Structure 1
């Protein structure tokens, strides 16, 4: 986590040093030459523009107006902008300024305010009305948001009426649902949490967990196009953002087609030995021919189940490629 702190006075710089002690990867800048541990800059606005896209959290110790003018040219999108916080130089108030939910500014505001005994200032409507905040929920539980416009519609609607929510059977709720939500209601607007490509409501926001493992086996020399063709067929009813990784046997760790396929889809791949795969217990679609070649009776299902909870797509074969998909149980907290 990369943090940048900006201050504008002696008192502000002293507070900046205290704040810096709360983080590991932190850089402090000031327009005032007052502290050896802080880098002097002639223009904080120029430095903010240099650091903005590479920051996770930006803290401004000074007036809110300075912070607003500094970040204004850089602000692009609530899904990518860093968390921005303003703290007065006396440390009385910690204000969440930008990216309160997805960026985490609201959470950081509470944490920092607690550390320096200040008053946290949160202005997002769902928070001040004690309502469920869909973008905060998604970030906290590592869920991909299918459509930010629908997410904004939900945040607006939930202030005055309930919003429906539905979960896959394998999603485990660790606590009660958020204020303003109803389970499986008949509302036209609702949220579906799961890996499937389904739209339970007239207007559905899909929140996609990253909890699927794709096991792949293939003959030597299989092209990435062959793997991709079967992959797209097997996942036609699955949101591929739910895929956490690919798994296969270590005999395939230099298989160009397999590696190229994973690179195209930006999927991490793990390889396992035949010994590791054979240790798994379960009902697998075994093949003695495959066992003679690889030392294991089923590569794709066993690979997927190394860290999987259950198989949701059993072995499918085509053109020298086999694919299976396993699901890891997912817990969510409100």
Structure 2
């Protein structure tokens, strides 16, 4: 009888509970409401970006343009509102549409022209950063109005920061789309076995186009939230965030080769890393040691998830060998 595997989300929840228990013993300040709220708040941008970035990753690709896209979209939103005089709601919608269009363009090059996703999105990361520099004239621009826009990032509801609610809505919507809809099943199928998916009637190119478009939209939302929160925009506002997003996805069980992933797992992974860094700060561990600890956590997460992937990889290798012999 085949033993049922424990879901990655459940494993992470268990590890997270143990981590919280250990940190609460080591530092009485850890379990305070303010501290826990600050930790969750700190992963909001990662959660927002992960909710869309998981789709290209599951199809076997990657989106490395997240940081540059988010920064540029914040600048674009400011341009619409404070330079062109567009109302803040249409400004946000237009910004999301532009983000989705850029993502769609990336997806077109990946799906139709067959350029590797790493190359395409790395190039996008570079040219989007350049566009952001040009549009902002290389300056850090302050956003002092409109107040409803600023409230998106700085306001609170029932004592919790608004970005937490935005992140939770996107995470729940993304998880539902991925796990409970035909589109989500097609995304998984393309990542797991593109040939089999195609034979079953799935259009891999269309799925990839949609996946990168979704990533573009959530990057735009992330840029809007970041701009309203910090009340400033500049080209390097989200520099390096793509590495943190990919870290969260890996820890959360998203397969590096595609076909497997969970946005809930990614969020738990991001929270775990944030808890560790927060704990190190509370324990007065010097900052230079933080990347070392984070790197070890990533490695352990890879080893935890790699058991399944190595077996699958061997299976793919044998399959490839049989095809070669035919």
Q: TM-score, with normalisation over the residues of structure 1?
A: 0.24
More strand by share: 1
More helix as a share of residues: 2
TM-score, length basis structure 2: 0.24
Higher relative CO (Cα under 8 Å, sequence separation at least 6) belongs to 2
Q: Which has the larger radius of gyration?
A: 1
